[in-house]
Amino acid sequence: MFLMRNDRYRFLVTIVALMVALPVAAQSPDTISNYRQYSALYSSSGQPHEAQLETLQKNGFERVIYLAYSDQESALESEDRIVKDLGMEYVHIPVEFAAPNSSEFDIFAAIMRQAPDKKTLLHCQVNYRASAFSLLYRVIYLNVPLADAKEDMNSVWTPNKIWTQLIFDVLQENGKSPFCDVCDWESPQ
């Protein structure tokens, strides 16, 4: 059956609209593993792949901070070059998962505070390191209530004793209590 001229026109317009809309829908950063958006300028996630880094750039991200070692099994080879070639800033702070320390958090916080208006993705392999650092940064520097930041982190993982101890130490070093009415921490001791 032949389509009438107007029907063909509507059909073609619909096809073109779908072709334009599909790539936009596919270009959302929330396809990255454990992606969490905390504000218009700050998100954390697990390891993005190359196409997802391109998506970040298309969505206005200006900086990518990586908190794991580049020789991790799931690390993206040449991530630094890929990010730089996309015109974004790349910062690498290797954090040993089994032995994080407050100086690594301090380096991260200093970078964020140098340019707080840069749209940033903080990531590691699965968003454990990144969500813990995000909790700390948001509570200490963005004045997000601890209960809210902890709920966001707990949507990704519940930190083990090593990471709970780091969170307690960094919060206390910055004059913040690690306790709140709804904060259920496993004792770090």
Residue-wise pLDDT tens digits, 19-68 = 444 444 458 999 999 999 999 999 999 999 999 999 999 999 999 999 99
> What beta strand segments (E) does the chain contain?
36-37, 42-45, 63-66, 89-92, 120-123
| pLDDT confidence of residue 27 | 84
Instruction: Give the pLDDT score at 5.
Output: 59
SS3 122: strand
Strand 120-123 to 36-37 pairing: unpaired
pTM for the whole structure: 0.86
**Domain layout of the chain by residue ranges:** 29-173
- Residue 12 in this model has a pLDDT that exceeds 80: no
Asked whether residue 11 carries a pLDDT value surpassing 90, the answer given is no
Biggest CA pair distance of the chain: 76
The residue count for the chain: 189
Rg (CA), the chain: 20
Could you tell me the fold of the domain covering 29-173? Protein-Tyrosine Phosphatase; Chain A (3.90.190)
Q: Report pLDDT digits (tens) over 64-81.
A: 999 999 999 999 999 999
DSSP state of 115: S
Convert the pLDDT of each residue in 80-126 to its tens digit: 999 999 999 999 999 999 999 999 999 999 999 999 999 999 999 99
